[in-house]
Amino acid sequence: MGRVRCFARGKWTRMRDMSHETFRVVSQPGHRAGQQILVLTGAFTSSASAIFVDAVAAADAPRLILDLTEVPMVDSMAVGALVRAFVSCHKTGRKLALVGLNHRVHNVLHLTGIAPLFDTYATISEAEAGLA
């Protein structure tokens, strides 16, 4: 991974580049009946929000798990898309859980005040058990 220079705390420091991997959403069945997992990969940004919204709309299981283990960051459009996913699931009586939030994603959800909307788990197996 490359390094970039960043001005912080009054001095130049080095920090890692964020992954520029193309955003993808892959749907897979859960290990329990009525569960579906959407595995998200890449930076979840404004250009990726439509892909995510379409994937959530196509998911029809009563319990939906969003695996964000391979998502290095989210922006404000992604936050809006996550809220829309929550509202959609809530209106239809479905349950929604988030899995594998890294520190950066976790902080964005807390700073924007939407973290309490979601059940979060460290692993997919924990989420499957929690939503059972």
Would the pLDDT of 105 be above 70? yes
pLDDT value at 86 more than 80: yes
Q: How many CB atoms lie within 10 A of CB 8?
A: 9
**Residue 93 scores a pLDDT above 70:** yes
Confidence band for 113, pLDDT divided at 50, 70 and 90: very high
| 3-state SS track over the chain | CCEEEEEECCEEEEEECCCCCCCEEEEEECCCCCEEEEEEECCECHHHHHHHHHHHHHCCCCEEEEEEEECCCECHHHHHHHHHHHHHHHHCCCEEEEECCCHHHHHHHHHCCCHHHCEEECCHHHHHHHHC
Whether the per-residue pLDDT at 78 is higher than 50: the answer is: yes
Reported as a single tens digit per residue, the pLDDT across 6-55 is 445 555 555 445 555 689 999 999 999 999 999 999 999 999 999 999 99
Average pLDDT over residues 120-127: 97
| The pLDDT of residue 14 | 52
Query: What's the whole-number average pLDDT of the chain?
Result: 88
**Domains assigned to the chain:** 18-131 (3.30.750.24)
Give the rounded distance of the alpha carbon of 5 from its chain centre: 27
Confidence of residue 132 (pLDDT cuts 50, 70, 90): confident
Share of the chain above pLDDT 90, in %: 83
Q: Is the pLDDT of residue 73 over 60?
A: yes
pLDDT of residue 98: 98
